[in-house]
Chains A and B, each alone.
Chain A
């Protein structure tokens, strides 16, 4: 059970995403010239609450999910599919043992160019609240 892994499994299992990227969902690095469209997932922030008895199991994490496409339309189509997949999601995510997600918010979204000519990246920052074992 690791949030990033379970988010990747969750996206791979979603027909709307699999139809666009097949299994092209990666971690930190997208190799230059790799097939498109594709997705990168990385954690950029985690916040844990300190209680008087110790650390609370409910964690707030921000994941940056990048949608890469050969042009803006491809990248934004993928980003929209992700936004609709995660909107108001709550429940178990990934494969056993699953991560229990309380809620997901899309907190930021913006486009960037890429070192690969013609490639557009739409960056989405999602706030995940989940239970940590």
Chain B
């Protein structure tokens, strides 16, 4: 558990996968060693007018969740891994959490991914790996 201080920290971040039930249970996917792309970007809207005194003016437009890539070790028997492959095959969405293990309750980033891609990358001399790609749909809820 992290101390409640404003300092940088290493680790203590967990990738948890929802089961889609109600209430939903999130299970940490522990083979994961890389996560990237969690965030959102606003569209750029040009609102320049004849009254802009010769300079461009903009406002932020619709927010668009980013494409998230995560990967880790391929395991022979890992239910979460198989469920995520099923999601891609079934063109399904799934809820995820980034759990930051600070003072209780955890700090959470909660979001839904439209599951787009899975890729198994066999290795000849190290761990076999698998990665997934999903697109954030809707808002990232921070609690």
Which A residues have a C-beta under 8 Å from some C-beta of B?
49-54, 56, 58, 60, 105, 127, 129
Contact at A60–B126, with CB atoms within 8 Å? yes
Residue of B nearest to A60 (CB): B126
Q: How far is the CA of A127 from the CA of B32 in the complex (A)?
A: 24
Q: Residues of B contacting A54 with CB < 8 Å?
A: 30
Q: Does B127 contact A (CB under 8 A)?
A: yes
Q: How far is the CB of A45 from chain B (nearest CB, A)?
A: 14
Q: A-side binding surface: helix, strand, loop or mixed?
A: strand
Residue of B nearest to A102 (CB): B127
Q: Does B11 contact A (CB under 8 A)?
A: yes
Residue of A nearest to B70 (CB): A52
Q: Interface residue count for B (Cβ, 8 Å)?
A: 15
Q: Does B116 contact A (CB under 8 A)?
A: no
A-B residue pair count with CB separations less than 8 angstroms: 35
Query: Can you list 26 A-B contacts (CB < 8 A)?
Result: A49-B73, A49-B127, A50-B11, A50-B33, A51-B30, A51-B31, A51-B32, A51-B33, A51-B72, A52-B13, A52-B28, A52-B30, A52-B32, A52-B35, A53-B28, A53-B30, A53-B32, A54-B30, A56-B31, A56-B33, A56-B127, A58-B73, A60-B126, A105-B125, A127-B125, A129-B126
Q: Residues of A contacting B13 with CB < 8 Å?
A: 52
Q: Which of B32, B73, B126 has the largest number of chain A CB atoms within 10 A?
A: B126
Q: Residues of B contacting A50 with CB < 8 Å?
A: 11, 33
